[in-house]
């Protein structure tokens, strides 16, 4: 039965962690959904959570759910702010969306210590420094 389902591969969709502002005291970070497609995506559902080991103990963050009605072609939407203290954890974003009547989904995971300056790029569409998973 599952073999009969179409294989809807997610392409040209990214999750990015962007450095918004920085001062001597702190850095402000946000997570974005970037649509690099030439068509909008609709009924977007994103769940986010962090998990892993910190100081020898297993740690889990709350699971957050986000609903976005539409992300325009070559557009982006803010998902959530993210705290630097979670960068040592796996930060997982599970994305589902529709194009027409077809549903697509993909899991994006920022591994521990992957959100670091040496991995920064200029994020497309956002034009901000950050780390992106495509």
Residue 127, by phi and psi: left (phi above 0), alpha (psi -120 to 50) or beta? left
CA gap 1, 10 in Å, rounded: 21
Check residue 54 and give its pLDDT: 85
pTM score? 0.91
Residue boundaries of the structural domains of the chain: 2-133
Please check the confidence at residue 2 and state whether its pLDDT lies above 70.
Answer: no
What's the pLDDT tens digit per position in 56-93? 899 999 999 999 999 999 999 999 999 999 999 999 99
Distance CA 122, CA 18 (A): 9
The CA-CA-CA angle for residues 74, 79, 80, to 5°, reads: 145
CA distances from 120 to 14, 30, 112 (A): 15, 14, 15
Distance from C-alpha of 95 to C-alpha of 74, rounded to nearest angstrom: 17
pLDDT tens for residues 26-54? 889 999 999 999 999 999 999 999 999 98
Whether the predicted pLDDT of 1 surpasses 70: no
Distance CA 53, CA 20 (A): 27
Number of residues that make up the chain: 134
Extract the tokens encoding 98.
């529709």
Percent of the chain with pLDDT over 70: 96
CATH number of the domain at 2-133, please? Answer: 2.60.40
């Amino acid at each position: 039965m599952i073999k009969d389902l179409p294989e809807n591969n997610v392409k040209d969709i990214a999750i990015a962690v962007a450095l918004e502002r920085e001062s001597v005291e702190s850095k402000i970070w946000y997570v974005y959904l970037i649509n690099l497609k030439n068509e909008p995506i609709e009924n977007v559902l994103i769940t986010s959570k962090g998990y892993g080991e910190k100081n020898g103990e297993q740690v889990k963050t709350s699971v957050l759910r986000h609903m976005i009605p539409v992300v325009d072609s070559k557009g982006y939407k803010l998902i959530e702010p993210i705290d630097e203290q979670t960068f040592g954890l796996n930060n997982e974003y599970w994305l589902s969306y529709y194009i027409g009547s077809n549903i697509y989904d993909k899991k994006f995971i920022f591994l521990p210590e992957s959100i670091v300056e040496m991995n920064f790029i200029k994020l497309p569409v956002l034009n901000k420094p950050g780390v992106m998973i495509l």
